[in-house]
Structure 1
Amino acid sequence: MSDPTARILRLLSLLQTYRHWGGSELAERLDVSPRTLRRDVERLRELGYPVDTTRGTQGGYRLAAGAKLPPLLLDDEEAVAIAVGLRTAAGGVAGIEEASLRALAKLQQVLPPRLRARLNAVQDATVPTVFASRGPAVDADVLVAIAQACRGSEQLRFAYTGHDGTETSRLVEPYRLVSRGRRWYLVAWCLQRADWRTFRVDRVQRPFANGVRFPPRELPAEDAAAYVAQALRAVPNRPRAVVRIAAPVEQARAAVWPGMGELVPDGPDNCVLHATGDSVDWLAVGISMVAATSGLRLTVDGPAEVLEALRRLGDNAAALADGRAAAPV
């Protein structure tokens, strides 16, 4: 790539993925010599981009966090994706809604007309739905620190508060973050336990990536979301319900959100959902949503507290339909 300006912009675009780039790999991508690459990196530093350099056989470059935010290089799809994401601020993250609106206003000011038209089309066709969260909010800085460690495949150390309130120090190889309803979970290989673990992010404090990189391990599940669902089903005293569905398991699987629980066949034309939830009321809401949107016939075997929650939900829905005030749950 002979044009210096285009080459530096391309270098910046690669570095802004926030992964570690080997020097030879980066030079090959840009079709330049290692000497030219070093010169281009110095030019980025002069422009305010903090590029870290590591030496040795595993040496290379990485864009680090700086004292100020330099200009970002976004292509059309990235700009629209960010704007759409800002319109629906991450649920359960403390203080992010107002910051998202400020960032969206700044981004809209600099979008070219063709991209602004695409964003407006999405906004006009979308009705956001906000659910009040009763759970503890996640600190945005903690969430970002974990995400960066996942992206960079760096070991992460943090303080973790368990169910009994005891704080322990954990050293993990972070794999993925999973947003599940009102809560965020980290899926990671725990070096102290030598096994896979899930961690509630609202219980994580003082996360610190120590710079030690690791090769990815094979997760013993289809994906991180499936692993979290599997781990939560094993938590004792978690609200549960047995739901019988008059449909083959393949048909039910298309209508039931995987995080609700485990679907198992019950003969060729029926299946059973072993459902779990953060609370009895949220479990009742989830079951009701499946019944209302799937067109399938559901029967709930119990337990009694879930059946009672379903009755309250039905009574409140009937009251609202009749113009009466719904009772608090």
Structure 2
Amino acid sequence: MQKTSSRLLSLLSLLQSRRDWPGTVLAERLGTSLRTVRRDVDRLRELGYPVTAAKGPDGGYRLGAGAQLPPLLFDDEQAVALTVALQVASGDSGLGEASARALATVRQVLPARLRHRVDAVRVSAVGGRQEPVDGAVLLAIGEAVRAREVLHVDYRGPDGPPRRVQPHHLVSRGGRWYLVGFDLDRGDWRVFRVDRLALRVPNGPRFVPREVPGGDVAAFVLGRFRGSADGGWPCRGTVVLGLPAARVAPFAGDGVVEELGPRRCSLVAGSWSWVALAASLGRFDAEVEVVEPVELVAAFALLAERFARSGALAGPGGAPGAGAESAGVGDAVGPL
């Protein structure tokens, strides 16, 4: 029979794995008697775990939520995932200090085999300087989302009238926090940057949640950033590049690359405007043949005129280093 301490950990692990457990099943899984299971449940309660008992012939048990945070038990994969997530969160200027302290606490109690795995994975937030986000604001918004209560907010400063927002989702993208909600004053869906929100108290009345357009929150947010309704790029075109597909694919992002020969490939790519798409294709430093549409051809012509004027303004001899070969995908390390 297992020692009491190891048996308690096994019992706790079972209770965390599913909602309800008949007492007889727990006794069978632990290789002990039903009476021992009852005593072990009482010990877990003394440690702060809110284990409730259901009446019935089997005397079922359930691990619920309590008033205090008891010791937690994670398996190996959960522990590694938690520490990686805390590394990501520690880069957030609003939650960084608390996340760093939580990461240090978790790492300290990890077994050596897991600590080595975690130390081998270093996650950093990549991007520009982010505005700080108050952790209390995140919690307040999250509570309003769960309670389905209308938020009264000032957005981008207190000068304008307050906005009434039905909060639906709190999401993170590119190191920033965003609130997805239905703006009652605008009669439309909005994506608000949380660091630009000031909450007014108290919250408004409860509401019946609407469905996010398209039914997919991630696609909706991505679509708003891309300027389209369906999550795809509003401007999408096909070109043939004078480069091997293997050289283009690592830098194609969400584009689709197809090999056409040893030194040619097709690329289907998108952007928020035709000029932006043409400019992004220029980074490959290779011959570009537009297949479709005509709007992309016109964008290349417009850019050619602009660049020609810029070259003329540089005067004889051009800018420092003019005439030197560039280091694009076609030459060395790829687009900058």
Deviations 1:107-149 (A, max 9, x none): 22211011112113324xx6x464332x533222332454566
* Cα offset, 1:77, TM superposition: 1.0
Matching of residue 166 in structure 1 with residue 169 in structure 2: no
Aligned counterpart for 1:273 among listed residues 257, 270, 274: 270
Taking the aligned partners of 2:139 and 2:220, their CA distance within structure 1 comes to 21
Change (3 A) 1:29 1:228: farther
For residue 114 of structure 1, what is the aligned residue in structure 2? Answer: 113
2:10 corresponds to:
6
Contact 2:83 2:103 in 1 (8 A): yes
Q: Describe the shift of the 1:4–1:115 C-alpha distance in structure 2 as closer, same or farther (beyond 3 A).
A: closer
Q: Which residue does 2:65 correspond to in 1?
A: 63
C-alpha displacement of 1:224 = 1.7
Q: Which runs of 5+ in 1 are unaligned?
A: 16-24, 54-59, 259-268, 277-282, 322-329
Taking the aligned partners of 2:234 and 2:152, their CA distance within structure 1 comes to 34
Partner Cα distance (1:30, 1:141) in 2: 44
- 3-state SS in 2 of match to 1:48: coil
Q: Which runs of 5+ in 2 are unaligned?
A: 1-6, 27-36, 54-61, 242-247, 256-265, 291-295, 311-318, 327-336
For residues 60-209 of structure 1, what are the structure 2 equivalents within 5 Å? 62-63=64-65, 66=68, 69-89=69-89, 93-123=92-122, 128=124, 130-133=126-129, 136-147=131-142, 153-162=146-155, 165-172=160-167, 174=168, 176-188=169-181, 196-202=189-195, 203=197, 205=199
Deviations 1:74-110 (A, max 9, x none): 221111112122233365x434333333322222221
Identity of aligned residues (%): 36
CA 1:168/1:144 → structure 2, altered by over 3 Å: closer, same or farther? same
- In structure 1, which of residues 283, 298, 301 is the aligned counterpart of residue 299 of structure 2? 301
Distance 1:14 1:296 in 2: 57
The amino acid of 1:132's aligned partner reads G
Query: Which of residues 5, 20, 26 in structure 2 aligns to 1:26?
Result: 20
Task: Tell whether the 8 Å contact from 1:186 to 1:201 is kept in structure 2 after alignment.
Answer: yes
1:214-225 map, 5 Å:
218-221=211-214, 223-225=216-218
Deviation digits for residues 14-64 of structure 1 (CA, Å, limit 9, x no counterpart):
69xxxxxxxxx53569957xxxx99998865543357899xxxxxx98525
**Cα distance change, pair 288–301 in 1 and its aligned pair in 2 (3 A):** closer
The one-letter amino acid paired with 1:301 is A
1: CA distance between counterparts of 2:128 and 2:170? 21
Cα deviation for residue 5 of structure 1 reads 5.8
Give the number of the structure with larger relative contact order, counting CA–CA contacts within 8 Å between residues 6 or more apart. 1
Change (3 A) 1:225 1:296: farther
Give the number of equivalent residue pairs. 256
Alignment partner of 1:273: what SS? strand
RMSD across aligned positions (CA) = 5.7
Normalization by structure 1: what TM-score? Answer: 0.52
Shift of 1:169: 4.1
SS at match of 1:221: coil
Q: State the SS of the aligned residue for 2:20.
A: helix
Compute the TM-score of the two structures, normalised by the length of structure 2: 0.51
